[in-house]
A = this chain, B = another copy of it.
């Protein structure tokens, strides 16, 4: 069967050459005599896979040597708890910028552990902009400031990072990482679920200043949730999600071959500009996000009525475009334009939008 244009917010489209490579090597990997799925994580072939994956990611993102790279499990949602448990003591003050659904969930988990404070929120305008943050707004003794770098549900993003003074900046970049250049050194801690631009679900990547590994951790914190344990054991305190790490490694290698993140960012901006341009010119389709805060990876849009929304989604589905329905919290439509989405996919979407405007219904 033909492959569709899958606009899912994640898991989402992977580059076809990566999938084809994984398919070719699935039963027997190189001269290992077995599938990657069957390899002992303590074996030489797997050691090469995980080491190469980390090295490739470090080159792609220009990760400084004083940052650790960890391959973990549990998704961004597990990090909502792991970050407080490792960077704060019970009861400590932690700061959150509440710019949407997942930012709020992160704060709620923080509140299980300590004094989770919302320093700002964009709830009043339905999370359609990113509020500015400056150091004078922040308790300078706080354990960290947490931001959700890109809001997958509403389609906003931090195009400028907050000024935090001496408060460590922690950012969830799940839905942008590898889709544009991110200044790692401007952060103290970056995390991302892999199932958007990095690979497949079941892997979470943490990039953190090594100095933060030395913060004292309460004895109650499980060994499995301790960054220091993961770092000291090369992300293999126990069996890691080997195949997900392998897939991420294939993605990293592919992106390096394609010229790196500047190339991806240019491609992604071109896709986003095409779509935003058509939406802005449309009499019936509408994107409600403040222009300077628009995400290049998740483009949200609405139609005047629920009935038209349904009709448009059905029309798009009929033309081989899936998962354009918005998140249940936001409603409407959403097109996620990760690295795996080709320009032709956005052209097909734009054509569908124009045809719908002109009264075509299929």
Contact = CB atoms under 8 A, between A and B. Distances in A.
A331 to B, nearest CB: 15
A41 interface: yes
A8 interface: yes
Contacts of A33: 1-4, 6, 320, 322
Given A4-B33, A78-B224, 11 more contacts: A1-B28, A2-B33, A12-B40, A26-B26, A38-B340, A43-B322, A75-B224, A81-B222, A108-B223, A112-B221, A195-B239
B322 A238 contact: no
A14 B37 contact: yes
Interface string A234-259: 00011111111001000000000000
Contact of A201 (B78, B219, B239): B239
Give the contact-size bracket for chain A.
Answer: 35 or more
Chain A's interface: helix, strand, loop or mixed, by majority? loop
Interface string A139-160: 0000000000000000000000
A242 B244 CA distance: 10
A194 B241 CA distance: 11
Interface in A1-49: 1-4, 6, 8-14, 16, 19-20, 22-23, 26-28, 30-35, 37-41, 43
Contact of A12 (B6, B38, B238): B38
A316 to B, nearest CB: 13
Contacts of A41: 11, 201
Contact of A14 (B19, B35, B78): B35
Interface of A: 1-4, 6, 8-14, 16, 19-20, 22-23, 26-28, 30-35, 37-41, 43, 73-78, 80-81, 90, 108-109, 112-113, 193, 195, 199-203, 219-225, 237-244, 247, 320, 322-323, 340
Contacts of A78: 73, 222, 224, 238
20 contacts: A3-B28, A3-B34, A4-B33, A6-B33, A6-B38, A8-B39, A8-B43, A9-B40, A10-B40, A11-B39, A14-B38, A22-B26, A73-B73, A77-B223, A78-B224, A80-B222, A90-B220, A201-B242, A201-B243, A241-B244
